Chain A
């Protein structure tokens, strides 16, 4: 095997070791680079920041536990922003596996930290099956879809829910998601009810949603850990996302280098074989 063939056929376990080392090294020797704020992140931040105190915001926890590394920093930064602005928060989730538990854990933790009262400042509605029913049904009556909250407390016993009957009583929908539900928040909810929708999503989802940002159907977009880091900087609460960007930088450079090395080996071997043939 010549050098070019070796270059393009390194054993995958060595690649895994390289990736592991590249992730671990910045944890031991942290490096910080200034993080630029994208116009879409700033648009979302300003939309929430301009809401009058006491406005009701629907915050969705449409995420599985798989993608918490990307979505949890977004949800935390969003909730911190909403609580800091003294906005009222109603949370829902359309994800059965983990959504309700994640929403409870994060909201209760942050509410205790910022002295928010359950039922007055925030309510966790939890999960109900069939997202079409939930998204469409809440447009007419939240109570018909959610007769109780996630802890089985009737909505009639929650002061906040006496003033929030449907989307018309809300000022903004902040979607934190890791799947295609965002399409339905836009096509079913935003299109019919006209309420503004902003999103924080995983990196895999983000490229598609630029189409909604461009058409004005979506007010702001956070994409993945970079988006979470931008929002953390905007709200002034640095967390895992900002820390993670240093590690992310190094691994991206490694992958670009691996792609380059693989292609270099491929083309040089192809050239050598063509010369040998001629």
Chain B
């Protein structure tokens, strides 16, 4: 029962979507599928709230057991409260509450979270430069081809490089766009998209038919 009921539910919620694809708007199947989409959205929200609860639980464990670095876990928990609670309180209580522009919730996102987000990804530029210098070696013919193409594309994507390529040949910039990006690259990406789509479709069928059950966990 613990596994059978969810499997039946997965089948029903999925097969309605499949049938509705072939039905006209306003039909029973189409209306039911629309309702199921709303239900999915609601349940999806709870699953993400579960993730938040899980993180809070882990950090609380660090603090209560005074594990190494537990002071930083206090910082995390305090940040959760200070940034989350104002978003939960009704905006009718105070303009500082709610999620709108000018609220504490929004202020923390714009002035604390956004710069940190951007910088965390910005430092990747240093790492990619260092990695390109240390590890990008033309050890084989294939690696050499990859390296030459990467250099060509890096030149092609910058105005200085476009000007330089233009001095070698007026058709070189066009050649890179047409034959490399819209030719070879397009072909490979298309092959990957088709392969991945076939894999996703077969996995979806396995989930619908109850063959794939790993999402349910053990027990």
Binding site for B on A (CB under 8 A): 8-10, 12, 15-16, 18-20, 23, 32-36, 38-39, 64-69, 96, 98, 100-101, 104-105, 108, 128-130, 132-134, 136-137, 140-141, 144-145, 150-151, 183, 187, 192, 203, 207-211, 213-215, 224, 226, 245-246, 248-256, 258-259, 261-263, 266-267
Contacts and interface: CB of A to CB of B under 8 A. Distances in A.
Given A100-B99, A137-B41, A208 B193 contact: yes
Contact of B100 (A16, A33, A144, A151): A151
B78 interface: no
20 contacts: A15-B133, A19-B126, A20-B126, A33-B160, A36-B159, A36-B173, A39-B177, A69-B122, A100-B99, A137-B34, A183-B193, A209-B189, A210-B186, A211-B189, A249-B161, A255-B132, A258-B133, A259-B132, A259-B133, A262-B134
A36 B162 CA distance: 8
Interface in B1-41: 17, 21, 25, 30, 34, 37-38, 40-41
Contacts of A16: 126, 129-130
Contact of A132 (B40, B113, B186): B40
B140 interface: no
Contacts of B151: 256, 259
Given A16-B126, A36-B162, A105-B110, A65 B40 contact: no
Nearest to B106: A101
B190 A214 contact: yes
Given A104-B101, A144-B38, A207-B181, A253 B160 contact: yes
Given A12-B134, A38-B177, 5 more contacts: A15-B130, A33-B158, A214-B186, A224-B157, A255-B133
Contacts of A108: 101
A8 B173 CA distance: 31
A99 to B, nearest CB: 11
Contacts of B117: 64-66, 68, 98
B157 A252 contact: yes
Contacts of A66: 117-118, 120-121
A49 to B, nearest CB: 21
Contact of A263 (B125, B130, B137, B173): B137
Interface in B69-117: 99-101, 106, 109-110, 113-114, 117
Given A36-B162, A262-B137, A130 B157 contact: no
A155 to B, nearest CB: 14
A166 B50 CA distance: 31
A114 B148 CA distance: 46
A226 B25 contact: no
Contacts of A35: 159, 162
B210 to A, nearest CB: 20
Nearest to A261: B133
B44 A130 contact: yes
B126 to A, nearest CB: 5
Minimum-distance CB pairs A-B, first 5: A33-B159, A130-B44, A129-B44, A65-B117, A249-B160
Contact of A245 (B47, B100, B158): B158
A8 B186 CA distance: 34
A68 B118 contact: yes
Interface in B166-219: 173, 177, 181-182, 185-186, 189-190, 192-193, 197
A197 B15 CA distance: 28
B14 to A, nearest CB: 11
B126 A133 contact: no
Nearest to A247: B158
A248 B158 contact: yes
Nearest to B147: A259
Contacts of B130: 12, 15-16
B141 interface: no
B100 A145 contact: no
A17 to B, nearest CB: 9
Contacts of B40: 130, 132-133
Contacts of A192: 21
A203 B153 CA distance: 12
A211 B193 contact: yes
Nearest to A136: B37
B101 to A, nearest CB: 6
Contacts of B30: 140
Interface in B139-153: 147, 150-151
Nearest to A212: B193
